[in-house]
Structure 1
């Protein structure tokens, strides 16, 4: 569905020295600096995938999303949506994509929510039967019809996000770009957003590209992860495979009846606090059950638990790399 080939985006930044002298010098001999926001990105996304597209602030995520949705033109490279170049065939391609920017609403501030949807119906030239069917389906997921008569300016942040989600799907696009849609949302609004993404992906096989700093969204929704940093592709693959490769270990927490923790030849004792000891072991070399069985022969065990490496720790490692 989406092919990104050698995508680059450069910005020219004009800088000047401070003061009047610097301003005059800048007029005569301006100093330009090229900022490489995105550097030679290439990846492929299949129909029906939900892909987490993440990176630290300033990594180039939003710039890439804007190029993929046709808002920005690449300096080099190309983006193909369903085999069509978004830069060359923008009017045709945008009928097949929907976009939600968490910090910018596409709803008309001065209209009722229902009027904003009607306006989009005419823009996308959707017939009334198809429009009503789509609105009914989206209402079952988000409960949007109860808000149709409410002016957009009087809606809460969570209600506006619901409205933006419906607006992005009213023309039944094949691809949905979500750029940090959960900014400022409470728990119930985040739950509604995640439910919406799952449902449209399941029912309509919509391809979803999600950029977010909420790692709960990643764990809940995405099997595949694309990580960029400073405009460069850092990771691209199955989320669980990335976790296993970066952190191929688990931590076994054992509580003994006394404060003498035995060693084990197939794992490492990494910490001890009183009668609680932590052992780190490689997941592919030995199982937790085997270690527990061996340790129980050495000491009487009161309690055990296993700590998985958190997704937040994994992402920090990737960002740092």
Structure 2
């Protein structure tokens, strides 16, 4: 069986209490309540092959975390089928959890008041990992993530970056074939992010670990994943190669204009009125950025702006993956 994850028509609905207005409505709510159904995940289907590293992205409320919780067995689907490594996460819960590792960026699996290595020992017993396997595998993990000096410290005394490296190590104690990462680099500095990315690439290459990564930091996706699944309002709107996404949507240029003095956004929008040009604010009040989708409009745009404003600098870049994704969400394009 080549697929690690097989999802068919997966749906998750939640019942939400809808309060009536006014005092009379509040009184009626005491006896009978109105409920409305919210669909967090709406009949999605996808497969992930063994050894793949896939980015699972979407805006807040798109349904990413709900999907991960169903795939890990935390939530039961309203409808649909999930098969992971030949198992149903809900019906074979005990057997299933021994084959996955999970890291939630905002939730810890380590014990707060005891030393990191004590948490590791407890997890080793939970997963029934032999001393030999633990030593051979975890020595490499500890060295690669550079957490040796942290093992004697209580988790509560670790910085966020230190804790996340330890969380990642804890998720890999039993060397699972599948790793779920939900916002693993949230709030981390650049050096820690680079260290975690290098480590994830290494375990993917060395052990063939399948990784499903959800994150708002698209630089993580670019560094690790060749394939991306994009979710919007509970539905998949893109599932394919990241390179194809750039090729199909990354046409045009991003031009940074540095003005001699602050300029209002609406001033340049009126001057360069075109559906192919989208303006946004830069890092300062004197910097504006134009995303130009049609390469043929670039020279005209630069000439127009330079002729009307005092410009101190112009910088041209390829349109970033972040801008491409934002464009897709704004235009609501569905990939069939």
**Same fold by TM-score greater than 0.5:** yes
8 Å contact 1:250–1:306 — kept in the other structure?
A: no
Structure 2 match to 1:81? 84
Shift of 1:250: 3.9
Q: How many Å apart are 1:85 and its aligned residue?
A: 1.1
Q: Pairwise mapping of residues 22-37 of structure 1 onto structure 2 (< 5 A)? A: 22-37=25-40
What's the CA shift for 1:61? Answer: 0.2
Q: What residue is the counterpart of 1:294 in the other structure?
A: none
Distance 1:146 1:27, change over 3 A: same
Give structure 1 stretches of 5+ with no counterpart.
Answer: 254-265, 278-303
Other-structure match for 1:118: 121
CA distance in 2, matches of 1:315, 1:224: 14
State the Cα distance separating 1:144 from its structure 2 match. 1.8
How far apart, CA to CA, are the structure 2 residues paired with 1:251 and 1:237? 23
Q: Does 1:39 align with 2:42?
A: yes
Q: Size of the alignment, in residue pairs? A: 282
Is the aligned partner of 1:64 residue 2:67? yes
Q: Secondary structure at the match of 1:273?
A: helix
| Higher Cα radius of gyration | 1
Query: Does 2:241 match 1:234?
Result: no
Q: RMSD between aligned alpha carbons?
A: 2.1
Question: Quick one: structure 1 residues 219 and 158, their matched pair in 2 at CA, closer, same or farther if it must change by over 3 Å?
Answer: same
Look up the match of 1:273. Answer: 302
- TM-score, normalization by structure 1: 0.83
Give the distance between the partners of 2:92 and 2:104, measured in 1 at CA: 22
Pick aligned residue for 1:153 from 153, 156, 171: 156
Contact 1:2-1:79 within 8 A present in 2 as well: yes
TM-superposed CA distance for 1:78, in Å, is 1.8
Task: Give the Cα separation in 2 of the matches to 1:179 and 1:267.
Answer: 37
Aligned equivalent of 2:53? 50
Query: 2:185 maps to which residue?
Result: 182
1:167 to partner: Cα distance: 0.5
Spell out the pairing of 1:1-321 with structure 2 (5 A cutoff). 1-18=4-21, 20-247=23-250, 249-251=251-253, 268-270=296-298, 271-274=300-303, 307-320=317-330, 321=332
The 2-side partners of 1:58 and 1:51 are apart by: 20
Cα distance per residue 1:61-85 (max 9 Å; x no partner):
0000000011111000121111111
Q: Shift of residue 228 of structure 1?
A: 0.4
Structure 2: which 5+ runs fail to align? 256-293, 307-313
